[in-house]
Amino acid sequence: MDYKKLKFATRQIHAGLDHNEPTGARGVAIYPTAAYRFKTCDYAADLFELSEAGNIYTRLQNPTTTAYEERIAALYGGVGAMALASGMAALLITFTSLASAGDNIVTTPYLYGGTYNQFRHTLRRLGIEVRIAPDENPSTLAALIDGRTRAVFAESMGNPTCAVPDLEAIAAVAHAAGVPFVVDNTFGAGGYLCNPFDWGADIVADSATKWINGHGTAMGGVIVDGGTFPWNNGRFPQIDGPSEGYHGLNLYEAFGPAAFIVKCRVDGQRDMGTCPSPFDSYLMMLGLETLSLRVRHQVESTRRLAEYLKAHPKVKRVSYVGFEDHPSHANASRYFRYGASGVLNVELTGDIDTTVRFVEALELAAHMTMIGDSITVVTHPASTTHKQLSEADLKAAGVTPTLLRVSPGLEDTDDIIADFEQAFAKTGL
């Protein structure tokens, strides 16, 4: 079936399903297997030299996970997708597939705390430098690019600041330098609110734990290859050149537009083992079936909460991209469906102690490090997701001691507002 002809809401249900499945089962089967029987020794040899498609070992692929990957690729319109155990694994495999020791990545400063740590520590220990720009201006990013740059990176909406960069302009900067534009699209809700491929991105990473799963029941990440980048431009010999791990096979010559996602699987996933379980892939498939319905409710709930909080006397500031006074309002209006998101930030009057007491007084809203869940979540980034950052990095990321990130769930918004009211009353702000 040509899924490109179908709307998003239809693709999120039908893509990845085998309509010729002999049992006639409506759902996707869960294959709890680690390995697969090879028909012949020659067939096994063909699988291992990548000349034949098929299942080798669940670390590389699994029928349940393959169905999930096909659905993700269809939603984004990419040439292929790969599921991983977490969003952080997706970033790790992406950048270690693009860069080697001595290379560098250029990024905007508005990043999730875990991404900051991976960039500042793990990639640095591997010899990959990450150059974090002081702002998200495309010209600032361009000034950091040199002959050893292997990618330009941004989050489609910064976590937790909700800053939206000029995706199209940054893509132009990356392409002018001959490197791919990589976007963490976690806040883009699986491509429903924002599809970076529409604006020039070449590779998308997504924390599937969030909106894709939608119910807080599984960890996961995905990498999606747009199939648009010319890997034969001389900067990527590990993709367009003899592969040491496959007897000199040239991945670009063998797989064309899908060369990068193949590289991620046959080298990155093979060697680092960051695969999801088949059951988690099944849970992601279930989550995707209601993605657009859930997100529409959450976007509207976020708008209502933002309006309520903006008018509240005990609130110092509300940061919501749907408001015209937000610095990223124009970019959000351009790049995000509905011009908004399912997350807002709020700073209360008082100090860090009263902010913490407010969070602990909430009854319905959960205090967790989570977004995109069916449960409303309120997070204090300074003491959780961004706790390991230095003062300078916290400032660069826009995280203040009294900042709260709010991710509305699927509850009735009136009940969440009432929960906030009782927490305000208990805190005595």
Reduced to 3 states, what is the DSSP secondary structure of residue 330?
helix
In this prediction, residue 159 has a pLDDT band, given cuts at 50, 70 and 90, of confident
Q: Alpha-carbon dihedral of residues 317, 319, 324, 329, nearest 10 degrees?
A: 160
Q: What is the DSSP string of 395-427?
A: HHHT--TTEEEEE--SS-HHHHHHHHHHHHHHH
Tokens 């209601």 belong to residue:
290
Average pLDDT over residues 5-26: 89
- 54-113, pLDDT tens digit by residue? 999 999 999 999 999 999 999 999 999 999 999 999 999 999 999 999 999 999 999 998
Nearest alpha-carbon partner for 89 in 222, 191, 239 = 222
Give the pLDDT score at 1.
73
Q: Please, which pLDDT band fits residue 385 given cuts at 50, 70 and 90? A: low
Tokens 């155990």 label which residue? 85
CB 236 within 8 A of CB 98: yes
User: In this structure, which amino acid lies at residue 399?
Assistant: V
Residue 135 φ/ψ, nearest 5 degrees: -150, 180
Q: Which residue has the higher pLDDT, 162 or 201?
A: 201
Radius of gyration, alpha carbons of the chain: 22
Own/partner pairs for 293-296, CB < 8 Å, 24+ apart? 293/9, 294/211, 294/214, 294/374, 294/410, 295/189, 295/192, 295/193, 295/211, 295/342
**What does the pLDDT look like over 387-406, one tens digit per residue?**
666 677 766 666 778 889 99
Predicted local confidence at residue 126, as pLDDT = 97
What does DSSP assign to residue 345?
Answer: E
Q: What residue type is 278 in one-letter code?
A: P
All domains of the chain in start order, with CATH: 3-287 (3.40.640.10), 291-427 (3.90.1150.10)
- Which pLDDT score is estimated for 350? 87
Mean pLDDT of the chain: 94
Q: Which of 352, 342, 357, 424 is nearest to 383 (CA)?
A: 352
- Other C-beta atoms lying within 10 Å of the C-beta of residue 114: 18
Closest among 274, 277, 283 to 88, alpha carbons compared:
274
pLDDT digits (tens, 9 = 90+) for 342-369: 999 999 998 888 888 999 999 999 998 8
Distance CA 275, CA 301 (A): 34
* Site of tokens 């990095």: 393
Token pair, residue 111, equals 């990043």
Percentage of the chain exceeding pLDDT 90 = 85
Torsion of CA 10, 11, 13, 15, to 10 degrees: 140
The reported pLDDT for the residue numbered 242 is: 96
d(CA 10, CA 427): 46
Asked if 360 contacts 383 with a C-beta cutoff of 8 angstroms, the reply is no
Residue 19 in this model has a pLDDT that exceeds 90: no
Write down the residue that tokens 């279930």 correspond to. Answer: 286
